[in-house]
Amino acid sequence: MPDPAVPPTPPVLLTSLLAREDLSLRRIAGPEDPRTVVHWVHTSEMADPYPYLLGGELLLTAGVHIPEAAGSDGGPPGRAKSRLGEYFDDYVSRIVAAGGAALGFGVAPVHDTVPRALVTACETHGLPLLEVPPQTTFSGVARAVWQLMAQSRLAELRRVTEAQQSLASAASRPDPVPSVLRQLAQRLSGWAVLYGPEGAEIAGAGRRPGEEAASALEGLAGVVRPGGEGPGGSPHPTSATDTTAGLHLAAYALGAGHGFVLGVATPQRAPSDHTVASVAAVLLSLLTGEQQSGTGAARSSALVRLLLGAPPAEVASLLGGERWVVVHARPERDGAPDAVAASALGAALGSALVDPAGDVVRVLVPADRAPAPLPGWTLGVSAAVAPHDWPAADTQAARALARARATRTPLLRHAPRPALADLVPPDEASAHARTLLAPVTAHPALTETLRTWLSLHGSWDRTAVALSVHRNTVRQRITRCATLLETDLEDPDVRMELWFALRHI
C-alpha cells in the first residue's frame, strides 16, 4: 500500500466520525481498528477510482458505477453472483491499492441496501465499509470531517501554546535545564534527556525507558551530533527519529555545533509532539549555548564586580565592548511592556543587557551595533560613550526619547555639538543654575515640565504628549513655574537663560 500524500491538517479518527449521531453512519464490514484515520473525503462513481485517489480518503459512492451486466447477464443465478463478486473484488482491491482509508456506500437513491458482494469484498481485503443512510448526504459527511479536523487543529494549537508557555516559564527558573526537561517529559508523557558533547547523559526527567530503548536513543543522539553521520554516510541531520521496543524516539541537535543533544522517548506520537520538542530544543540551545560560550558567566561576573564597587571601565570588556550607547525605548501602544517584549527588544538590538523599568525599557548596546528603527517602538539613543560616562548617556537617551515621542519620530539620536554653553566653566554654570532655579527644583514635576516645554519651543500639545499628561496640566505647571521664578516665560531671553540653567542641574 503506498504512503498517503497526507495534507497538513490533523487526521480524523474513523471512530470519531462513526460517533457523530447526526450522521448515523454504521460500520458493516472491515476491521474495527481504533487507529484508522481519515485525511479527507472524496466522492466518485468511477468503476476504477485508483487514478483519482491520493491515499487516506474516505471514498463515498452511491453505486452508480455498478454495471447491470454484473448482476444480470442472462445466465444462471450462480454465474451472476460470480460476476458481481468479481466486480466488487476488483473494485475494492483497487481502493486498497490506492491507500484508501474506508469506503462509504449510500443506500439511496440507486440502491436500497448495500450489495452483499461488496460487504464480502471489503471483509476479504480488510477495508472498512460504512453504510450511509438515506437522510445523510455525502456533503454532510464531508462537512463533518472538516469540522472534526478543525476541532483537532484547534486542540493541537492550544496544546502547543500551553506547552510553549510552560517551557518558557521553566527556562526562567533558577535550575533552567532540569526544569525544561521535567516540563517536556510531563507534556509528552515520556522521557526527556540531555546528552553532552561527549555523549554522556547530563540530565534526564520523566519515566526512563528500558535499556534497549535507552541505548537506541543514545545511538540516535550520536547521529545528529556534529561529527556523526546519517544513513549511507550522509552529513549528520539536525534531528532524527526511530521506534524501538514500542517507544517513539527522537533526537535534536542543539545550538550551532556545541554538541549538546536533546533526546525524547514517548509511548505515543501525537502530531504536535515534534513542535513541542522543537520549542524545548530552542530553549535548551540558548541555555547550553550560553554555558558553552561563557558569555553568560562573563556577564554575571561583570555585574557582580559592579555591585561590589568595581569601576565600569574595569568590567566593560567582560560585557563585550569599549564604547556603548544607551537606548531608551517605549512601545507605541499604551501600557508597560512585559518581560517577554523587553527581551525581544534586547535581542533585536543585539544586547542582553536589558532593564524594563515601568513604561520605558533601557538597553545598554555596544556602539558597533548601531540601533535601527523597530516597528512598534519609539527609541531614543545616546551618543557613544566610554563606560565611565554611562550615567550621562542614560540622561541623553531619556531626552532623545522624549523628543522622539513629541515629534512622532521612530528613532532619535543625541547629537552633541559645540555650543555657547561650553564657554562657561562648568562649576560657575552649575552655581548659577542652582541659584536661578532654586524656587522650582524642589518640585521635580515642575522642573521636568519646564525642561520639556522649553525643549519643544513652548508647545503645549507636544509637551503633553512627551510627558503623558493633559495639556491643561502642562499649562498649570508652566504658570506655576512663572510665578515661582517671578519672570515672564514669553520673553525669549528669559527662556534662553532658563534653558542654559536647566542643562547644568
* Predicted local confidence at residue 71, as pLDDT: 43
> Can you tell me the distance from the alpha carbon of 356 to that of 473, in angstroms, rounded to the nearest whole number?
27
DSSP letter assigned to residue 237: P
Same domain? For 17 and 142 the reply is yes
User: Does residue 354 fall inside a structural domain?
Assistant: yes
| Residue 427: pLDDT over 60 | yes
- Per-residue pLDDT of 370-414, as tens digits, reads 788 887 889 999 999 888 888 889 999 998 998 888 888 899 998
Which three cell numbers, joined as nine digits, stand for 96?
486498497
Same domain? For 366 and 390 the reply is yes
Residue among 353, 414, 361 at smallest CA distance from 383? 414
User: What's the rounded mean pLDDT across residues 234-242?
Assistant: 73
Contact 145, 17 (CB under 8 A): yes
User: What's the rounded mean pLDDT across residues 479-502?
Assistant: 90
Q: What domain range is 128 assigned to?
A: 12-147
User: What's the rounded mean pLDDT across residues 188-194?
Assistant: 92
* Predicted local confidence at residue 153, as pLDDT: 84
User: Does residue 496 fall inside a structural domain?
Assistant: yes
User: Does residue 2 fall inside a structural domain?
Assistant: no
Phi and psi of 5, rounded to 5°?
-80, 80
User: What's the rounded mean pLDDT across residues 143-168?
Assistant: 88
Percentage of the chain lying above the pLDDT 90 cut:
41
DSSP, collapsed to helix, strand or coil, labels residue 217 as helix
Round to the nearest angstrom and report the end-to-end CA distance of the chain.
83
Among 61-65, 167-171, 419-423, 439-443, the range scoring the smallest mean pLDDT is 419-423
* Counts of helices then strands in the chain (DSSP H, E): 16, 17
> Can you tell me the distance from the alpha carbon of 41 to that of 143, in angstroms, rounded to the nearest whole number?
9
| Residue 236: pLDDT over 60 | no
* Predicted local confidence at residue 198, as pLDDT: 75
User: Does residue 165 fall inside a structural domain?
Assistant: no
Which three cell numbers, joined as nine digits, stand for 136?
445523510
pLDDT confidence bin for 339, thresholds 50/70/90: low
Phi and psi of 381, rounded to 5°?
-120, 135
Same domain? For 139 and 27 the reply is yes
Residue among 387, 312, 327 at smallest CA distance from 357? 327
Same domain? For 287 and 331 the reply is no
DSSP, collapsed to helix, strand or coil, labels residue 238 as coil
Contact 320, 382 (CB under 8 A): no
The domain boundary, picked from 413, 432, 449, lies at 413
DSSP, collapsed to helix, strand or coil, labels residue 263 as strand
Same domain? For 23 and 143 the reply is yes
Same domain? For 270 and 385 the reply is no
Q: Output the average pLDDT for the chain.
A: 84
Same domain? For 95 and 185 the reply is no
Of residues 16 and 310, more confidence is placed in 16
Residue among 64, 138, 51 at smallest CA distance from 99? 51
Domain count, the chain: 4
Contact 350, 356 (CB under 8 A): no
Of residues 270 and 86, more confidence is placed in 86
The domain boundary, picked from 354, 384, 413, lies at 413
Contact 230, 237 (CB under 8 A): yes
* Predicted local confidence at residue 342, as pLDDT: 74
DSSP state string for 300-340: HHHHHHHHTT--HHHHHHHHT-SSEEEEEEEESSSS---HH
* Predicted local confidence at residue 397, as pLDDT: 92
* Predicted local confidence at residue 291, as pLDDT: 46
Count how many residues are written for the chain: 505
CATH assignment of the domain containing 457 = 1.10.10.2840
* Predicted local confidence at residue 82, as pLDDT: 76
Same domain? For 403 and 425 the reply is no
Among 160-164, 331-335, 395-399, 493-497, the range scoring the smallest mean pLDDT is 331-335
pLDDT confidence bin for 80, thresholds 50/70/90: low
The domain boundary, picked from 274, 293, 312, lies at 293
> Can you tell me the distance from the alpha carbon of 159 to that of 150, in angstroms, rounded to the nearest whole number?
14
| Residue 43: pLDDT over 70 | yes
Highest mean pLDDT among 237-241, 309-313, 492-496: 492-496
